Amino acid sequence: MKRIERPSTADQYSVGMLSKDSPYERERLESIQRSVDAFTISIIQGLPSEASWNCLELGAGAGSIAYWLAGRCPDGRVVAADIDARYLDAGRAANLEVQEADITHEDYTPGSFELIHARYLFCHLPMRDDMIARAARWLAPGGWLVIEEPYHLPADTSPFPLVQRLLAAYQQKFSEHGADLTWARSLPAQLARSGLSEVSFAGNLGCMGGLGKDRWLPLITQSGPSLIADGLITETDLARFADLLKDPAFIDIPQVTISAWGRRPLENTNADASVGAV
């Protein structure tokens, strides 16, 4: 496994609230996978993929999509990159390469991947618009960039006062850490601005509550101690949230995952032919 020096800038994923030193981080990542993998897979299955594709999974987390891609593209290779790769298992497939890398410092060879995918990563990155343009350059001609990010609905529109408080605290904390939980809305435009064609998008509604469909308990459990330390919520709020999850009438939609994708145009071998061809 390739290793890098930790970035000098404070990063909530390497040293902060969402660091993998937290005992709750693995469960949080796995709960994300359980709730969104089916949606992600349906999006990628909709692309005209080939067994020989070289794929790059950015911010691979606990690895489910990288492992799935390795099976889907057995004649290609999959690079699974994460700033902290401790939950990635390079032994899962012969064509899988795990790379511990801060992707804001990484520069892959232009044109080297037929598919680049990232989920719940770009909202955390500084200079996220520029990062889209860089990732687009790493695509081979005809390759696809698929980015999936959360769009949080306004906390004060929740029908549950406790959820209004919890979500407002969560959103404030993430924003203080430099995350933008509404940036996802600009994704399609950003892909088009980066020169990609065939830009398209879809949404997947998140569920809070709904008896068993919830993935928020691990998220709130993970960030809870920081939110309490900052005085944004109380221990009682957390206990009441756990109780609320047992109520069959507790169902809320806190966010939408926006998935957007675009394709690097095939290179035109005869530039003159395209001029004037409308």
Ligand X SMILES: C[S@@+](CC[C@H](N)C(=O)[O-])C[C@H]1O[C@@H](n2cnc3c(N)ncnc32)[C@H](O)[C@@H]1O
Give the binding site for ligand X (CB under 6 A): 13, 29, 32-33, 59-61, 81-84, 102-104, 119-121, 124-125
CA distances from 229 to 11, 112, 232 (A): 19, 45, 8
Mapping DSSP to helix (H, G, I), strand (E, B) and coil, where does residue 75 land? coil
Q: Least separation, in Å, of the C-beta of 167 and ligand X?
A: 17
Closer to ligand X by Cβ: residue 100 or 251: 100
What residue number has its CB nearest to ligand X?
Answer: 61
Q: Least separation, in Å, of the C-beta of 17 and ligand X?
A: 12
Closer to ligand X by Cβ: residue 177 or 240: 177
What's the sign of the alpha-carbon dihedral 90, 32, 225, 126?
positive
Q: Least separation, in Å, of the C-beta of 121 and ligand X?
A: 5
The CA-based angle 152-105-125, given to 5 degrees, is 10
Determine which helix (DSSP H) or strand (DSSP E) holds 53, and give its type and residue range: none
Distance in angstroms (rounded) separating the CA atoms of residues 107 and 119: 19
Closer to ligand X by Cβ: residue 208 or 244: 208
Q: Least separation, in Å, of the C-beta of 103 and ligand X?
A: 4
Closer to ligand X by Cβ: residue 120 or 250: 120
Closer to ligand X by Cβ: residue 61 or 143: 61
Among 129, 221, 224, which Cα is nearest to 180's? 129
Instruction: Tell me which amino acid residue 21 is.
Output: D
Q: Least separation, in Å, of the C-beta of 206 and ligand X?
A: 13
